Structure 1
Amino acid sequence: MDSKILCQKVTELLIAAPENSFHGAYRFYGQPLVGFASATDPLFLDLKKPEIVGHLLRTPREWLPDAATVISFFLPFSEEVRRSNYPPGPASEQWMHARFKGEEFANQVRKFVIQTLIDAGGRAVAPAILPEFIADFTTCTSNWSERHAAYIAGLGTFSLNRGLITEQGMAGRFASVITSLFFDPSPRPYTHPFQNCPSTNDGKCGACIKRCPSGAIKPEGKDKYVCQQYLRVENPMKEFSVPFGYPYSACGKCQTGVPCEHRIPAN
């Protein structure tokens, strides 16, 4: 299967699907980015190191024994969703819907890509929607990382807030599919994992530090436990979340109103 055809099919889905909006009022996602990585790239094995993801992490071939390629997608939030989250305080209603309803649509994208690859004669799985997927919020680790897969697939590098800065910024959602079909790996236009973040290079930005309502982000990095405490225990949007069945609060303040929101900032 040609990679350009696959990318075009995903783009057409995002344009046409009514689920890529909140009841037609505004769109969740804009133009997607797609990257490809070899399933045997040694960087996937490196992710098992405790200082990166940890021992729970499964490599692509631990998810799909004959895996050849990992396909990673970045679904950037629309300008309306991003701008709604500029004011200080808890997340905006639009951001909440984009985080949870938008993730439901991201699962639809995953399933669409899986079926497209199967129709092309391959096998495919999306770890994040398999029963075996583990996301342990008490230890802040999991057995698959969408962001790290995106990094390996050439989509972007990490930031001080531990988001991933792509050519369309960091405000959005990542998804991935592992397939037995071979696609040429995308180039990685960077030489180290924090290359796109000015704060980690010369310390001259730090905008996400000021935006974080929980104080989880410091010049030396992000405390994931403080972040999760804010989202799941303090749960500032609980009253809004309950009627919609959202499990906890979203936030996204460190991804919006910052130079890396929708682009790679100048270093």
Structure 2
Amino acid sequence: MMIKQLVDDFFEISDGNYIREDVALDSELNGMQLFDKPIIGIASANDPIFETYSNKHDIMYQKFIGPKVWLKSAKSVVSIFLPYSEQVKTGNANNLKRPSLEWLHGRYEGQKFINELSEFIKMKLEHAGHKCVIPSIDDRLDVRIGTRTNKDVNTSLSLTNADYWSSWSERHVAFAAGLGTFGLSKNIITRKGSAGRLTSIIIDIDFKATERPYTDVYEYCTFCGQCISNCPVNAIHINKGKEHTVCSKYIDWVLKEYYPRYACGKCQVKVPCQDGIPETP
């Protein structure tokens, strides 16, 4: 597939998947690999699931903008999941109270690498005469993070999950593209696990869509509750899932402690879905 070749090419030519000495938070992390090779899924831009995302309030609060709005000539949506390297995952599993330095690198330098990968694919396709949009770094992207929008402590106490949304969701797109289903912590569980990052590109090429080998939103989650135990601030519950305000306030604290880096990811490590789809008990 054309996209896979472009991804492979970028992994070969870029050094961004490894931590440089001048940015390493610890000398032992110099040269650390951030991601293993990614997996790719494709959804048709005409898939009715995107209309569902846009129109059903209980999914995305009717904030999701479909691919045809981002790019009028859109035909396919490519979703890419980049699993974290073993070193990044192991590092974050050692202490469940605060993010590891490895994971902070994975979130910060890792996102820079992902953006560069996305832009590389876009550049190559545009040079070939195609049109592409990367919603996650597009100026039209609209994001609401309740605890950062409402700084007043009393106001933040009354925030609900509806105060956290984005006009594009990498996880919902991954679900549509056949990469995986949601977990209790709102992560995405793929055949390469849940510990990783996502990107997506809207393209005017009519690729064959990846089959969705599931029907239920939480089909790959066993509801084992391990992510509940791992969460340092008790933001995840078996009956109501994740409370975004509790999680977000913790991330805000991490950002102050480790600025400009922030991360947590405890719900993605030391869990049965860390490295793959867990077996049903």
Q: TM-score, normalised by structure 1?
A: 0.91
Kindly tell me: are residues 236 and 121 of structure 1, through their superposed partners in 2, closer, same or farther at Cα, counting changes over 3 Å? closer
Deviation, structure 1 residue 193:
1.1
The match for 1:44 among 46, 50, 61 is 50
Once the two structures are superposed, residues 187-227 of structure 1 have per-residue CA deviations (whole angstroms, 9 ceiling, x without a partner) of 1011211100001xxxxx11100000111101011111211
Deviation at 1:237, TM superposition (A): 5.9
Given candidates 170, 174, 198, the residue that maps to 1:146 is 170
Counterpart contact for 1:14–1:29, Cα < 8 Å: no
8 A Cα contact 1:74 1:172, kept in partner: yes
**Alignment of structure 1 residues 91-240 onto 2, 5 Å:** 91-138=99-146, 139-199=163-223, 205-220=224-239, 221-232=241-252, 235-236=253-254, 238-239=256-257
Q: 2:265: which partner in 1? A: 252
The change in CA–CA distance for 1:52 and 1:172 in structure 2 (over 3 A counts) is same
Query: Which structure 1 residue ranges, 4+ long, deviate > 4 Å from structure 2?
Result: none
1:69 aligns with 2:76: yes
Give me the whole-angstrom Cα distance separating, in 1, the residues matched to 2:98 and 2:11. 28
Equivalent position of 1:13 in the other structure: 10
Q: Please say if residues 189 and 276 of structure 2, whose CA atoms lie closer than 8 Å, have aligned partners that are also in contact.
A: yes
TM-score (norm 2): 0.87
2:96/2:231 contact within 8 Å kept: no
Question: Amino acid of the residue matched to residue 143 of structure 1?
Answer: S
Could you tell me which residue of structure 2 aligns to residue 56 of structure 1?
63
Once the two structures are TM-superposed, the CA of residue 178 in structure 1 deviates from its matched residue by: 0.2
The AA in structure 2 aligned to 1:238 is K
Deviation at 1:8, TM superposition (A): 2.3
Q: Runs of 5+ in structure 1 lacking a partner?
A: 200-204
Q: How has the CA–CA distance of structure 1 residues 129 and 237 changed in structure 2, closer, same or farther, with 3 Å as cutoff?
A: closer
1: distance between equivalents of 2:57 and 2:198?
A: 22
Q: What's the offset of the Cα at 1:238? A: 3.0
Tell me, in whole angstroms, the C-alpha distance in 2 between the residues paired with 1:256 and 1:92.
11
Separation (CA, whole Å) in 1 of partners of 2:222 and 2:194? 14
Of all paired residues, the percent bearing the same amino acid is 37
Measured in 1, the distance between the counterparts of 2:203 and 2:165 equals: 24
Q: Secondary structure at the match of 2:59?
A: coil
SS of the residue corresponding to residue 85 of structure 1 reads: helix
Residue in 2 that maps onto 1:202 = none
Could you say what the CA RMSD is over the residues aligned between the two structures, in angstroms?
1.2
Cα distance in 1 between the residues matched to 2:276 and 2:13: 25
In 2, are the aligned partners of 1:39 and 1:61 still within 8 Å (CA)?
Answer: yes
Find the counterpart in structure 1 of residue 276 from structure 2: 263
Gaps of 5+ in 2: 21-29, 147-162
Rounded to whole Å, the distance in 2 between the matches of 1:46 and 1:192 is: 14
